[in-house]
Structure 1
């Protein structure tokens, strides 16, 4: 059973500014557990409406325009209601109304000479999501990064457990870093439907984290980026196609495939512990072999034409979890759609890069962010 959402007592952000896979890779972990004891607020709440459908919006209907179309004959039989998109589909995510905000700070823990670190919570479409935030010392507002982590079993995951290196490095370079726990993790609220919806809720949480940061007084709302690792790389793909323009740039480390079928086959369909989720999805969508169009509708690759932000991908040639071929296929699809994408390949690099390759990758990441967030 998850810990109930944290109780919070707000103070103004001005005071804060004045004061200052089927299993995840084990070497992507670290850090202790921080229980919720929130005492500060860094943002208000507001609501962002659903995006206006564009020419490549999967929710945009086709309308007949021919002047020779036959006249409509009145009928007493009502037209059937349009079928709602499947909750695991990109169309459903596009149609979702996002309300991210109410970013609140809790207990300080892990402070350094360069930044202060806090337990944090924010609102994500009716759920409270926990995380860990680093805020540089000095006078803001600062550029900011949302960090979307890779897979760790939610039953053993603890608040702020992963991506410690990225958080520390970027905070020392002057970025606010918000590492999100996702729903069903740590002190976040539960969403029992998330697995059956192909974990679409993680994308909702990342989008709302970006919105929450933009409303925080310590953050420059025009300079917010998204970084994801492994499963979080898939969250990056989804967030970019669902809410183009929300983030200024994005980075994916060793991402999963942008074709949902690849991920489903590797980590869900063949995992006996997730057979219930597999059956629930197949009952709605059919099998990938029998209903390829329904599965394509859940894949961000199908909608890469919607992306407007530059994307940097890091991937090792010896990745034991997510093959490099997945990133090469994603890059080929992005380039075919005319998108700004860069792939950095690390010979011999495994799923979680180690030094000196990781050091090279994070310097490239920071230079990429500095170029696109200036």
Structure 2
């Protein structure tokens, strides 16, 4: 039954020119993203028949931190010499020469009557990133989706273990689905400095996955989207800011905050296991309280004006890891800049949506992709 739940659509103009990866989920971060319809916590859904969705709520009335805009030239180390951007900033990501390609299909496993599934790998700026790819049966080239997963401890993460529902559903609808493992995960190359750069490398890997798909004969290079959940939702924000025009659309499920300080405070600053990364970041940037402008330069929200593609966000009201207020604030910031964004709210939905809410969400995602990847 078609839902009558209103959508928040937005638009946006104006802006800045830089952004950075959110300091998202740590070892005690958002619930492990299994993609199997459950999380560390028992999920609940709204009672009653029909889709467990509801009209989107307005942006939170709670006071929010003001993120200063970047103004004026970058600091210089000498007259006429521009200082290099901080490695955790989106300025650094924007300045990156992305070198993605070499998509390779390995062993076939988990294939169905609708698609073939393979171990996959591709190049990402000198590293090799592993993943899992589903290729629809039939004649291509096909539209494609890059899937950016949420937090799972890299020490226990295995190749392609998350976002199983999204991969299967979209591949059955004719999309090549490339689920990326990120650096430091599964069979991907190691990058010891990634945490100290607020995991900016994950954005690099997502952008390079899009570039690798564009070079593949399996894929229509003009019809590629990016879908992420939780920490991967932050990767979606960053990638759309850093490389506008690469993906035709973005979808974020229960995303982390678009203000890096929210994520840093919740998952890095108070986590003893990440004390070293926290110290390294603060040594360069200072604390968020003492250096708000430097921290703003690491927040994609500061640079939402760069986004040119439509964005769809799904979020449950009972999310135990990423408060729905974070998505409401992101939508408000996008709306203020005239951007095309839709937010669907799921009453009682936890961090990982369960049926029937997830079923409703993936149908909405499919419709959104069909509209924007035509």
| TM-score under structure 1 length normalisation | 0.82
Quote how far apart the aligned CAs of 1:333 are: 0.1
| Aligned position for 1:355 | 355
What are the residue-to-residue correspondences of 1:326-345 with 2, within 5 Å?
Answer: 326-345=326-345
User: Is 2:82 the counterpart of 1:82?
Assistant: yes
1: CA distance, partners of 2:203 / 2:88: 11
1: CA distance, partners of 2:70 / 2:275: 29
Quote how far apart the aligned CAs of 1:82 are: 1.7
What are the residue-to-residue correspondences of 1:159-238 with 2, within 5 Å?
Answer: 159-238=159-238
Check the 8 A contact 1:59/1:94 in 2, yes or no. Answer: no
Check the 8 A contact 2:33/2:151 in 1, yes or no. Answer: no
Check the 8 A contact 1:23/1:153 in 2, yes or no. Answer: no
Post-superposition, which runs of at least 4 consecutive aligned residues in structure 1 deviate over 4 A? 57-62
Unaligned runs of 5+ in 2: 1-24, 37-68
Q: 1:98 to 1:59 in 2, by over 3 A?
A: farther
1: CA distance, partners of 2:256 / 2:224: 23
What secondary structure, in the 3-state scheme, does the structure 1 residue paired with 2:294 have? helix
User: Is 2:24 the counterpart of 1:25?
Assistant: no
2: CA distance, partners of 1:102 / 1:218: 13
| Aligned position for 1:268 | 268
What per-residue deviation string (whole Å, max 9, x for no partner) do you get for residues 288-339 of structure 1? 0000000000000000000000000000000000000000000000000000
2: CA distance, partners of 1:26 / 1:235: 16
| TM-score under structure 2 length normalisation | 0.82
1: CA distance, partners of 2:208 / 2:32: 28
| Aligned position for 2:142 | 142
| Aligned position for 1:47 | none
2: CA distance, partners of 1:336 / 1:304: 10
Q: 1:27 to 1:308 in 2, by over 3 A?
A: closer
What secondary structure, in the 3-state scheme, does the structure 1 residue paired with 2:129 have? strand
Q: 1:238 to 1:59 in 2, by over 3 A?
A: farther
Quote how far apart the aligned CAs of 1:27 are: 6.0
Quote how far apart the aligned CAs of 1:227 are: 0.2
When Rg is computed on C-alpha atoms for both structures, the one with the higher figure is 1
| Aligned position for 1:158 | 158
What secondary structure, in the 3-state scheme, does the structure 2 residue paired with 1:179 have? strand
Check the 8 A contact 2:30/2:322 in 1, yes or no. Answer: no
What secondary structure, in the 3-state scheme, does the structure 2 residue paired with 1:178 have? strand
What secondary structure, in the 3-state scheme, does the structure 1 residue paired with 2:275 have? helix
Number of residue pairs aligned between Structure 1 and Structure 2: 313
Quote how far apart the aligned CAs of 1:87 are: 0.4
Quote how far apart the aligned CAs of 1:28 are: 2.3
2: CA distance, partners of 1:86 / 1:80: 18
CA RMSD between the two structures: 1.6
Check the 8 A contact 2:149/2:228 in 1, yes or no. Answer: yes
Unaligned runs of 5+ in 1: 1-20, 31-56, 63-77
What per-residue deviation string (whole Å, max 9, x for no partner) do you get for residues 214-243 of structure 1? 100000000000000000000000000000
2: CA distance, partners of 1:179 / 1:82: 38
